[in-house]
Chain A
Amino acid sequence: MSKVMEIKYGISATFNTAKDIFEAAGKVREKGYTNWECYTPMPIHGLDGQMGYSRSKVPCFTLAGGVTGFFTGMLIVWYMNAFDYPLIVGGKPYFSPIYPFPVFYELTILFAAFGTLFGMFFLNRLPRHNHPVFEHKAFGRTGDDKFMIVIEVEDPLFDDEETESFLKKLGGKSVAVISEPID
């Protein structure tokens, strides 16, 4: 068997409490790192601000979905009951935005919900079943009770020794290199 080549992805450090990773994240950001990520078992209140993230863009997808849904509803009612096969029922107008309002309303919500879910998937670049961080042996613990910071090789400030000692100085336990095997 040929020797498996490995590409270095980054350096990880584990933290035991939410408070520890919260403070460490602030310091990593102050230091000027840009390509790094925190892995936590649950969303931590205020960590977005600490990492310098802006507000999530999911609402844009919701809005787009909602607007599409509303006009889709209008279009189908107009096309079906007023244009393609005009239908007189109860002496009401062929088309009006009033009587079929429940249809527009429901379709607005339906499309907005799809926009939200798929917007979330798109922004998170999911589904993606392989990722270098999965190579870390204890990665599963980040879904349980451990907190992890990973600084990527891609980062302009990344330096093998300096980054490692920086993470150790922040109080990171079991600082380790994450590598991705390639064929």
Chain B
Amino acid sequence: MIMATVGEKVFEKSILKKVKPAPWRDPPLVENKRSFHWVTEKICGIVESKTPTWWWWCFITALCVASFTGMGLVYLVSTGVGVWGNNNPVNWGWAIVNFVFWIGIGHAGTLISAVLCLLKQKWRTSINRASEAMTVFAVLCAGIFPLFHVGRVWFAWWLFPLPNANAIWPQFRSPLEWDVFAVSTYATVSILFWYMGMIPDLAVIRDRAKETWRKYFYGILSMGWRNANNHWRNFEMAYLILAGLSTPLVLSVHTIVSFDFAVANLPGWHTTIFPPYFVAGAIFSGFGMVLTLLLPLRALFGLHDLITQNHIDNICKITLATGSMVGYAYSMEFFIAWYGANSYEGFAFINRAFGNYWWAYWIMISCNVISPQLFWFKAIRNNTPLVWIISIFVNIGMWFERFVIANTTLSRDFLPSSWGYYSPSIVDIFTFVGTFGFFSVLFLLFIRFLPLMPMAEIKMVMPQADPHGGKH
């Protein structure tokens, strides 16, 4: 036992007996002791094999659904923003709801690829590529709404600091302008990170390619990557730095999105809890979407050895943790509304739960707070179809969260004379539903033409990649 002496007194440094930790074996990241070659064949095989029939059916359906957005937007631009349900006092309507919803979905992709990378969570390797793709496509869907919400979409470029005929510049004190910078930076950095991670895998497909178009397509995209250790050295450093840059970025993006609300002097919006609450909600919704997308892919392509039950368990646990944070934020909002003794704030929250949009509030609570609590149980986490259904509930709940925040406050203004009830128009509904089609089109193209999983990263966490045979 270690002893320390101070003056003449003798102290025992530790009062607890030494405990021998129980042996802990991490579950394998790739099951069934697969070889490197198996991983290459499996992942390249998805891209190289003949296009499956189900893919064509999904693709055609997705294109049809995506056309809803196209038609909705054409009608909007040719007629005017009046075709949406937005009207006084609710001028934000579905546009902002859908924007925040899609941006939030994107956040889990960055969390998996960046934050979990910094935290050395090796299980992220098999799911990070698809999640990053989800991020990029979700941000593209999100961008549509504010772009068309400005009314005259052909002037949307005025949002950027570019000289225009009026000789005036953007106003940098506005959170909406910060949002322009945050979202466009987020989209750009997500694409860079996604693309850079893909370069070595594109090179593998290039080297296996038989057809000329493949050689050119993957050859150009892979930039002449040649697996040299010097390449890997700079690549790994760049990857780590991009992860380090994406982490504060992802936190800032939803913080700034929440500023759109929180900087406004409106009851129910003007609270300091918004940034962390929005970030937790975004990660929650994004992990819901990761499950929604990856569980079918795992079944369709037989990826059970790469996306193991342990992966699903981990995703479920993060969903549970962030869902509980969101639930905590809901209750804390109520507490502060009461404790802050501001009558407008108090009214806004009573109205949220029991007022004109009570139904939306309770859909939100049941989907976001109650449904993820089921993930406490192992039996439920092991039941893949049920996990998938809960993930759908999470998506629905998080859409309603944004709906509740944006609409309950605006529809019950300070003056009862200006109160109103917002309902979406059919154009709103079609435009929003169409974005799921747009997202699916992009995602289907991704799984058909680009490596679905990062092969090099998966190989890196396999036991064979360790040159010391597990001993350090």
Q: Please give the residue numbers on chain A whose beta carbons come within 8 Å of chain B beta carbons, in ascending order.
A: 17-19, 21-23, 37-48, 51, 53, 55-59, 62, 76-77, 80-81, 84-85, 87, 89-90, 92, 99-100, 102-103, 105-107, 109-110, 112-114, 116-117, 119-121, 123-124, 126-131, 133-134, 139-140, 142-145
Tell me the bound Cα distance from A44 to B460 in angstroms.
7
Which 9 pairs between the two chains have the least Cβ-Cβ distance? A140-B207, A22-B467, A80-B169, A145-B36, A56-B237, A120-B238, A143-B204, A102-B178, A127-B223
Q: Are B456 and A42 in contact (CB under 8 A)?
A: yes
Q: Are A117 and B242 in contact (CB under 8 A)?
A: yes
Q: Are B464 and A58 in contact (CB under 8 A)?
A: no
Q: Are A102 and B181 in contact (CB under 8 A)?
A: yes
Tell me the bound Cα distance from A103 to B175 in angstroms.
10
Q: Are B467 and A113 in contact (CB under 8 A)?
A: no
Contacts of A124 in B (CB 8 A): 230-231, 234-235
Contacts of B192 in A (CB 8 A): 113-114, 117
Contacts of B236 in A (CB 8 A): 43, 56
Name A's interface SS. helix
Q: Are B237 and A143 in contact (CB under 8 A)?
A: no
Instruction: Indicate with 1 or 0, residue by residue over B216-247, a CB within 8 angstroms of chain A CB atoms.
Output: 00011001111111111111111001100110
B467 touches which of A39, A41, A46, A120 (Cβ 8 Å): A46
Q: Are B234 and A113 in contact (CB under 8 A)?
A: no
Contact (A110, B185) CB under 8 Å given A41-B36, A124-B230: yes
Contacts of A41 in B (CB 8 A): 36, 40, 204, 227, 455-456, 459
Q: Are A143 and B467 in contact (CB under 8 A)?
A: no
Q: Are A43 and B172 in contact (CB under 8 A)?
A: no
What is the distance, in angstroms, from A30's C-beta to the closest C-beta of chain B? Answer: 16
Interface pick from B4-12, B148-156, B248-256: B248-256
A-B pair number, CB within 8 angstroms: 206
Q: Are A43 and B235 in contact (CB under 8 A)?
A: yes
A145 touches which of B40, B231, B246 (Cβ 8 Å): B40
What is the distance, in angstroms, from B232's C-beta to the closest C-beta of chain A? Answer: 4
A42 touches which of B174, B241, B460 (Cβ 8 Å): B460
Q: Please give the residue numbers on chain B whose beta carbons come within 8 Å of chain A beta carbons, in ascending order.
A: 35-37, 40, 161, 167-175, 177-178, 181-182, 185, 188-189, 192-193, 196, 200, 203-204, 207-208, 219-220, 223-238, 241-242, 245-246, 248-249, 252, 256, 259, 455-457, 459-460, 464-469
Q: Are B234 and A85 in contact (CB under 8 A)?
A: no
B227 touches which of A56, A92, A143 (Cβ 8 Å): A143
B173 touches which of A40, A44, A47, A99 (Cβ 8 Å): A99
Q: Are A80 and B225 in contact (CB under 8 A)?
A: no
Contacts of A127 in B (CB 8 A): 223-224
Tell me the bound Cα distance from A111 to B67 in angstroms.
35
Q: Are A113 and B235 in contact (CB under 8 A)?
A: no
